[in-house]
Amino acid sequence: MAKAIMIQGTSSHVGKSVLVTALCRIFAQDGYRVAPFKSWNMSLNSSVTLDGGEIGRSQGEQAEAAGIEATVHMNPILVKPQGRGQSQVIVQGRVHGAVDYGTRSDDNYLRFCLGVISDSLAILKSEYDIIVIEGAGSPAEINLMSQDVANMKVAHLAEAPVLLVSDIERGGALAAVVGTMLLLPERDRERIAGFIFNKFRGDKSLLEPGLTAVEKRTGRPVLGVVPSLSVTRPAEEDGVALEGRSGENKRDGERLRLCVVRLTHISNFTDLDALAAERDVAMHYVGCVSELRQADAVIIPGSKNTVLDNRFLSENGFVEEIRRLSARGVPVVGICGGYQLLGKRLNDPDGNESGGTPVSLEGLGLLDTETTFYAQKTVTRVTAIGLLPFAMGEEVEGYEIHMGQTVRLPGCRPAFRLQKDGREVPDGAVCASGSTWGTYLHGVFDRPCFRRAWLNSLRRMKGWGELSVDSTENIRGARFDELAGHVRQELKMDEIYNLIGLAGPKEVQSLGCNSDGSGDFV
């Protein structure tokens, strides 16, 4: 039966996912079969397992860091907010239904969740040596504690010691750790085995008196102070990560200004992480029309509610401005929900996206397509061949997660040819000039050759020279190793092994890398 350790945080966005990713890689390097686990996850960034199940994007990457194929049991409950006070609930990879936010206070919901979580945890424990569990938010939210199925209830189920993580970059980290301990009930407090302070900058010696005080007040050791890491960053889970991203990547030299429309219900924005990491890109997440000025390209990302985001675009002047930019020759790209928004019409005859009220709305009209929403959800992995003028024949891979079905009107050309269930299926659409295109394919920019081909097409429009693909920057395995190396150096791994009842590394292993750079890890 597997050993387990759990990473919880004093709040959201303290770096739990990063540390779980690093520990998965470290334990795998040390010769253990290790799997990630997040019992309950609220995220609009998701990925698809080999058997077509939907899980949180972070768990997919954590499994890759562990050198294994992700399964639905690594994130048995995924909750995706879809507006109007409702969320779609994914249970062990499949759509279970929509629930009101208030349902979380229902005892039946609690029992159901714990039953599903227990089943998935048992399956993983029977197949692996170590389970690295990630919590959500904070375990000390006293108004939610009784219904919290992501933190301490899971730690008790798994009999896992808990390492509490605090983000020292934002300030108040020492107080957050001590305050969390004070708010936890005695039974939960006993689960806390130590602390990790994350995202540290500066002279560590200045921090030592504070660390000593925390250990004295709580009776728990500090097991590591991890510096702020710029070399690698796993996929984010929620929109908190977008705060302050507008105007990032300010670098000297020629930079392409890529403007991403920050939709109200933006989802799977991690599709653009690989683009943002490119040396000639300045990525801007824009919330108002004026920020689109001087855009070299506009990207409309995924949406959990395309109908509501269509209204957002219309009511805030984006429709008119994006049409104007397109008429000037500025390329516009739509991914999934963004692809749907680029079409002529959005039809929701059964009110699946509009709160039960049938609607038919005008889209941006930049692609000759129409989308109709149905209750059935498409979730699948695919490979594809590019049919776009700048990347004809270029291979990409990714996954589809969408509710609507889009048809191309007569004369409209597809953007890709998918290999799907042994068949060739057209996907997406491209305008007559080839500058504006859309696709259902999440991860379309992850392949470095396709990504560079599109960026070079933008560079040519500006009269700039083309850049080559730098494959050394696109090896995911190497970046996982780099992350693991940094974290291993800062954590007291001997004490962590002791906490979970293991003597230490079994045998040092070298894990494989994806030499083609698919799915650039940033």
Q: What is the mean pLDDT of residues 493-513?
A: 86
pLDDT at res. 356: 81
Average pLDDT, the chain: 90
C-alpha 445/C-alpha 478 separation (Å) is 19
pLDDT at res. 441: 96
> What residue ranges define each of the domains in the chain, with the CATH number in brackets?
3-233+476-499 (3.40.50.300), 255-463 (3.40.50.880)
Q: Is there a contact between 137 and 12 (Cβ–Cβ < 8 Å)?
A: yes
pLDDT at res. 252: 43
Annotate 238-296 with DSSP letters as a single string: SGGGGTT-TT----SS--EEEEEE--TTEE-GGGGHHHHTSTTEEEEEESSGGGGTT-S
Banded pLDDT at 517 (limits 50, 70, 90): very low
Candidate from 14-18, 81-85, 274-278, 312-316 with smallest mean pLDDT: 81-85
Please give the model's pTM, rounded to 2 decimal places: 0.85
C-alpha 197/C-alpha 517 separation (Å) is 32
pLDDT at res. 235: 54
- For the chain, percent of residues with pLDDT exceeding 90: 78
Q: What is the mean pLDDT of residues 135-151?
A: 95
pLDDT at res. 516: 42
* 112 pLDDT higher than 70: yes
Q: What is the pLDDT of residues 425-481, one digit of tens each?
A: 999 999 999 999 999 999 999 999 999 999 999 999 999 999 998 654 446 788 899
* 307 pLDDT higher than 80: yes
452: its two tokens: 């560079």
- For the chain, percent of residues with pLDDT exceeding 70: 90
Candidate from 108-122, 261-275, 467-481 with smallest mean pLDDT: 467-481
Strand order, beta sheet including 256-261: 281-286, 256-261, 297-300, 332-335, 437-439, 429-430
Q: What is the pLDDT of residues 154-183, one digit of tens each?
A: 999 999 999 999 999 888 999 999 999 999
Comparing C-alpha atoms, which of 425, 387, 424 is closest to residue 407? 425
* 247 pLDDT higher than 70: no
Q: What is the pLDDT of residues 373-406, one digit of tens each?
A: 998 899 999 999 999 999 999 999 999 999 899 9
Under 8 Å CB-to-CB from 416, ≥6 apart: which residues?
384, 385, 386, 387, 388, 396, 426, 427, 428, 439, 441
Q: What is the pLDDT of residues 194-224, one digit of tens each?
A: 999 999 998 888 899 999 999 999 999 999 9
Comparing C-alpha atoms, which of 195, 141, 199 is closest to residue 170? 199
Q: Is there a contact between 280 and 458 (Cβ–Cβ < 8 Å)?
A: no
Instruction: Give catalytic residue positions.
Output: 336, 442
What angle separates helix 173-183 from helix 208-218, to the nearest 10 degrees?
A: 0
C-alpha 269/C-alpha 249 separation (Å) is 16
* 119 pLDDT higher than 50: yes
Comparing C-alpha atoms, which of 418, 81, 498, 205 is closest to residue 427? 418
427: its two tokens: 């996907």
Q: What is the mean pLDDT of residues 149-157?
A: 98
C-alpha 231/C-alpha 74 separation (Å) is 26
Q: Which letter, b or e, does each residue of 311-325 get, where b requires 16 or more Cβ atoms within 10 Å of its Cβ?
A: ebbeeeebbebbeeb
Q: Give the 3-state secondary structure of residue 9.
A: strand
465: its two tokens: 């020279």
pLDDT at res. 238: 52
C-alpha 331/C-alpha 461 separation (Å) is 10
C-alpha 74/C-alpha 77 separation (Å) is 9
Pure H helices in 35-172: 57-65, 107-127, 152-158
